[in-house]
Amino acid sequence: MGITIRLVDAEFCIKKINQKFALKALKEYAKTSLYTDKEGIDKLRHLNDVFKLFCYYIEYDDDTDDVNDINFEGEKLADDYEMLCSIAPFVEAGSYIEISADENSSWRWFFDGKSCTEIYPTITWKMPGAQP
């Protein structure tokens, strides 16, 4: 079963200089994940190939080769948060991934340059005719 999720918005960057470290961390995490095929992980040489194990696809800036976008091609929430925490020190501060899930819930995974935090929106209801 599981929770169906959709990536709504993202500002996501991994500088070229940090990609080899992110690759190593992500491969190590993939070896422990319950949701990835362990065979062949050590042979993967590109960050995008390891992200694909988790149904994420990254894009690169043509000029700098920095990772500048991320997309989710899966359906269900698995260990996405834990996976992102494994690479958090290599993701640029201010990056985020916004997720919408079934049952009208949404959240962001926010990166501060050291860690990843799951944050939820605050909803404020404004009554018609109410004074601020």
Residues 5-45: tens digit of each pLDDT: 999 999 999 999 999 999 999 999 999 988 887 888 999 99
CA-only gyration radius of the chain, Å: 17
Residues 62-88: tens digit of each pLDDT: 999 999 999 999 888 889 999 999 999
At 96 the pLDDT is 98
Residue 1 pLDDT exceeds 60: no
At 132 the pLDDT is 63
Q: Please state, rounded to an integer, the average pLDDT across all residues of the chain.
A: 92
